[in-house]
Structure 1
Amino acid sequence: MAWRWRSVVAVRRVPRSDPFRSAALLAASAAAGPGAAAAAGAAAAAAAAPARRARPRRGDAAAPPAAYSLSSASSASDGDAGGAGMPTLHRAPLDGLDTPATPPSLAFGPRGAAAPPPPAAAGPSGGADAPGGGGGAATRWQLLIALAALGIVICYADRSNMSTAIIPMAADFGWDKSYQGVVLSAFFLGYATTQILGGTLADRYGGKAVLAAGVALWSLFTGITPQAAGGGAASLLAARVLLGVGEGVAFPAVHSIIARNVPVDRQSTAVGIVTAASYAGTALAFGLSPALIARLGWPTVFYLFGAMALLWLPLWAPVREAPPRPGSRAAEAAAEAEERESLLSGDGGVKASGGGAAADEEAASGLVPGKPGPRQRALAAGGTPRGGGGSGAAAAPGAALPAPAAALARSPIDTLKVLLRQREVAAICVTQYCQSYGMYGLLTWLPTFFSDYYGVEVGSLGGLTLLPYLVQGAVGAASGALADRLISGGWGVRTTRVVLQVIGMVGPAVCLLAAVSPGAGGGGGAAAASALITAGLGLSALTLGGVSASHLDIAPRHAGMVFGAGNTAATLAGLVAVPLTGVLLDRTGSWVTVFTVVGLHYIAGAAVWAAWAGGEQLEADLAEGGAAAPGDA
């Protein structure tokens, strides 16, 4: 009987200049004779050749890595010269990258027998732990988003209650419009300080803990606001600033949760849900606060809304984020963080163990299916896995890092600087500023507008100020799903974002100006003005499928950071719009002037977005550590 022997070795794609992988492949075929060794050498050289990194697109699945098997036939009975036949290189998918490469092993079988099949490949988007990949995983991310949305309801209720409560507070303490603007805008001073910080912490450590800490902090300072107001201007302003510090982490943390846990084709829907929750929170505050003030006094508003966290935190604590899966952004971020710490500590050498140096070095590299790991990117930049010339020597403690390692060690501030130079990120920041000037200016002063302009009593404000935000919340919840449907139906990502955003900014500008014009809302009473403002805010909710989701398209690896940058710009708009409105009212007494300034901001933001908006992942987001990429603005 004729027998055929073969040696099987599992290897991964590797960058050039890696002697460990080549040696492993050659050693596996040493017994096959000169012919097999030569073929193995050619295979090793081919395996070590660098491949051009393809730019991933939204929804693309990562290609699985490969396993290679070398087989060589020999038969004494057939009289083969030297007992060696022509070796063959077989390629098949390799299951996962968490298992190190195995050392060479020999398997025997009859001539002509097929090589043993490799383990079935696990797709990067499948499995129970993948978001949307199984019933349990789908339930997990949906529960996360539902509870996160409830947290955002509390967030906006706690920040919006002051808009109504400040009317009786101003009467009690003798505040003019300018000082009311200072009290209302102090929140935004704290809110601006934790936008980028919250996004960065959430991207690195997960958004769940960051959001919980924020809820606890802002609820505390909501509850003590009445005591702070009684203590004087300094204590009240400090409480308002610290309220903003706590709330500043909320949206960056939630958007980081979405980027890590929600399937790409459902992310716009998730953004729409959580942002619509902000409108629901505003509606809750505007609807409930007038009745509470009329019956129990204005301090009750802060006590009740501050206590909501006591109900939410026990629900949030046991919920866990989806574990990182191979190929996910969370898995890549964790691998890169581990690699960065290894390089900074100087422990970047290849370790030897039972699986061989090549196996352990590969296991430590943090590779994920379909994407080069940090060491491969370092090699592509002109270095070696450990930096230097490939001698294998670890860097001395305190020594200057070589260029590839320095890229891996790039700080979040450096990453942010590179991203902010991208035109698409600048579009997010400018547009967020312009639309938030209108949103925050209107949100903060809307009860005062109806009270001053139409003489509506505080107890009757709920019916006029509640409806606009209920409609805005309903449209917002649907706009994210609409964006996903348009994209899946063939619309370009950029086209979808631009169309929804432009409608969501031009529409409110027209409606708000009509609300204070004598021929429309201004001549039809408070109900007509409320209807026009409701239509305008409903149209503005379409932006949830525009700028509010764009960071997930252009910078998914730094979604929390980019969202934090955009929300910081939005917060600066609040710092300008709220006090400026008070000053304009004190000096001119004209709500027409106030609404005209708001409308001009909406128009300018729509023009910038139409010109600069992006729809594809940025090279700066793909680059290791945010390294500079072509196309910087």
Structure 2
Amino acid sequence: MFELFRDNQSAVDEFLRTRTRWLPARISLAIMAWFGFVNLYMVRINLSVAIVAMVKRNTTGGVAVACESQLQESVSVFLHNADNETSDYVLPKGAYQLSTAIPTTPNEEGELLWDETTQGLVLGAFFYGYALTQVAGGRMAELYGTKLVFGLCILAGGICAILSPVMARAHYGALIALRVVQGMLQGPSWPSMHACIARWIPPIERPRFIAIVYLASTLSSAMTLPLCGVIIDNHGWASQFYVMGALSLLWCCVWFAFMYDSPDEHPRISDDELKYIETALRESGTNTNRPRRIPWREVFTNLPVWAILSACAGTGWGISLLFAQLPTYMKNVLGFSIRSNGAISAVPFLCRYIGGITWSSLSAWLITRKYISLRTSRRVFGAISLWGPAVMILGVSFAGCNAKLAITLLCLALFLNGATTTSVLVNHTDIAPNFAGTLLGLDNTVGSIMAFVVPIVTGVMTDGQQSLEAWQRVFWSCVPMYGVMAIFFLIFVSTDVQPWNDFGNSIKSSSSSSASKKDTSSG
């Protein structure tokens, strides 16, 4: 089948050229990458919902004890039942277990006997491996292209998802090992795409590209969590791993067939679009050559780089807590059923996606009209993305049993954090576009460390006592992480291309000669 496709590649390209003239090549890239990030996160976060159904519920905690004074005053706890209908349940006075008043279905009780600490290890295992391959992944994409690196990331994720149920039933250690491998193989994903946008997307369009494409990961959470809930409720927890894995494998077929690493390699790009992209990239300091070596000493002694890393540490702590632990909090503390858990847990992540598009569009509007400078934009939206969630999550810690208020504050926290698309996430391409993949690899390494520490810390804080007080301490941990790291970022952030950006650029890209030909023909 693949031989047949290769033999007819020219015919396919010509067919698509005549029917997609209205679609710019960078938009088709964005569409493919968007679906890639959706699949990337489907196989990463589905475990967060599945584990609620995989594991037998801990009924020794003191959730209802924490709420007992409110319950004795007949305060209603807002819940969603299995039919997804809104209703108010009032627990009887003196009730000590919230689970006694929550209607459950057979599928909600799992088959695995894992305590909270074990669950934390399983949920964090992905990031043990994920942290190891970030920098190498960005570097590989800079040298060998995003098509290969990003495509293999999604392929590996699909295969690991399909194998997950077998490993989980064998032993939790086997699943941990598989998740570590999955993390290692998917680690290069974000850095590889950063290397791609540095060569494909004009600087003024990058924040919006990142908001729409990269935060498809967030939108994926909004879609995956309720989808997992429905699949698990109807077919059991193992089935959702098979569905997510199959979708990833299907995407790979399209990606490897139609993705190109640079505009000048694309057979269907128009001359006008190619000229527009190349002009914008030259003005931003992006080199058409591939950097042979990385100036590590200059990178690690550069304050703007450390500003990005500090902001990522703060964001990574908060986002990791919500990605991995929100479904557990929804069920064990707020009392949502499996079916409604996925749907309700998804809403804050949908707000982050909307926030990303909103803030990036506002930033572009302000910059193009010269109301603010580029550096001011990075500072203003950086503060919004870090301090905003800190305040909202602090509010969640005091929301108590008021589920409506807790969900509202979580939605606002992630909506505000969406401003990271036009501040922290895009700043690598400002200061060193030629090393954008490597820098994001460093960035994500820091975020990954936060991601595998957070589930363990949460497991220790809540072990055997799924109470409001325990979760309050968990939420409090986000506030100093967000707040302090934001201060460092605001002081040292820069938008100037650093002197070491052109260090060691001596490997010619394979397509540089064809680029000059196209440029000549279009002139």
TM-score normalised by L of structure 2: 0.75
Corresponding position of 2:412: 535
Aligned to 1:266: 205
1:167 aligns with 2:108: no
Q: Deviations over 1:483-535 (max 9, x none)?
A: 22222222211110111111111111111121231xxx3252x2221111111
Which ranges in structure 2 are unaligned for 5 or more consecutive residues? 1-19, 57-110, 266-273, 507-523
Residue 545 (str. 1) matches residue 425 (str. 2): no
1:564 to 431, 437, 441: 441
| Among 434, 440, 451, the residue aligned to 2:331 | 451
Equivalent pairs: percent with the same residue?
29
Tell me, in whole angstroms, the C-alpha distance in 2 between the residues paired with 1:528 and 1:208.
44
User: Whole-Å Cα distance in 2 between the matches of residues 278 and 186 of structure 1?
Assistant: 19
What RMSD over aligned residues (CA atoms) do the two structures have, in Å?
Answer: 2.2
Bigger helix share:
2
Residues 198 and 286, structure 2, Cα contact 8 Å, conserved in 1: no
Tell me the distance in 2 between the aligned counterparts of 1:306 and 1:487: 41
Counterpart in the other structure of 1:68: none
CA distance in structure 2 between the aligned counterparts of 1:332 and 1:474, rounded to whole angstroms: 30
1:272, distance to aligned residue in structure 2 (A): 1.3
Q: Which has the higher contact order (CA 8 A, sep 6+)?
A: 2
Residues 152, 618 of structure 1: CA spacing in aligned structure 2 closer, same or farther, 3 A cutoff?
same
Displacement, 1:147? 0.8
Shift of 1:565: 0.7
Q: In structure 2, what is the equivalent of residue 350 of structure 1?
A: none
Task: Indicate which of 392, 400, 405 corresponds to 1:522.
Answer: 400
SS of 2:263 mapped into structure 1: coil
1:466 aligns with 2:466: no
CA distance, structure 2, for counterparts of residue 428 and residue 158 of structure 1: 27
Structure 2 match to 1:60: none
CA contact (8 A) 2:43 2:158 kept: yes
Counterpart amino acid of residue 439 in structure 1: I
Residue in 2 that maps onto 1:141: 26
Partner of 1:279, secondary structure, is helix
Structure 1 counterpart of 2:24, one-letter code? T
Distance 1:624 1:442 in 2: 41
Aligned residue in 2 for 1:601: 481
Which whole-Å CA distance do the structure 1 matches of 2:128 and 2:336 have between them? 30
Indicate the structure (1 or 2) with the bigger Cα radius of gyration.
1
2:423 equivalent to 1:579: no
Pairwise CA distance, 1:189: 0.9
Give 1:460's aligned amino acid: S
What residue in structure 1 maps to residue 384 of structure 2?
503
Equivalent residue letter for 1:469: F
Give the unaligned 5+ runs of structure 1.
1-134, 338-408, 627-633
Distance 2:23 2:427 in 1: 23
Q: TM-score, normalised by structure 1?
A: 0.63
Q: Give the superposition deviation at 1:625.
A: 5.6
- Counterpart of 2:157 (choices 218, 222, 230) is 218
1:429 aligns to 2:309 (yes or no): yes
The answer on 1:180 being equivalent to 2:119 is: yes
State the one-letter code of the partner of 2:28.
L
Structure 1 residue matching 2:429: 3-state secondary structure: helix
- How far the C-alpha of 1:138 sits from its partner, in A, is 7.2
Cα distance, 1:554–1:548 mapped onto 2, change above 3 Å: same
| Separation in 1, partners of 2:396, 2:420 | 21
Deviations 1:96-138 (CA, angstroms, capped at 9, x unpaired): xxxxxxxxxxxxxxxxxxxxxxxxxxxxxxxxxxxxxxx9697
Change in 2 beyond 3 A, CA 1:527/1:468: same
Partner Cα separation in structure 2 for residue 514 and residue 233 of structure 1:
35
Could you say what secondary structure the match of 2:130 adopts? helix
Q: Determine the C-alpha separation between the residues in 2 that align with 1:576 and 1:240.
A: 15
Equivalent in the alignment of 1:493: 374
Return closer, same or farther for 1:298/1:523 CA change in 2, 3 Å cut-off: closer
Counterpart secondary structure, 1:522: coil
Per-residue CA deviations over 1:211-262 (Å, capped at 9, x if unaligned) read 1111111111011100111221332111101221222111111111111011
Aligned-partner Cα distance in 1 for 2:39–2:201: 22
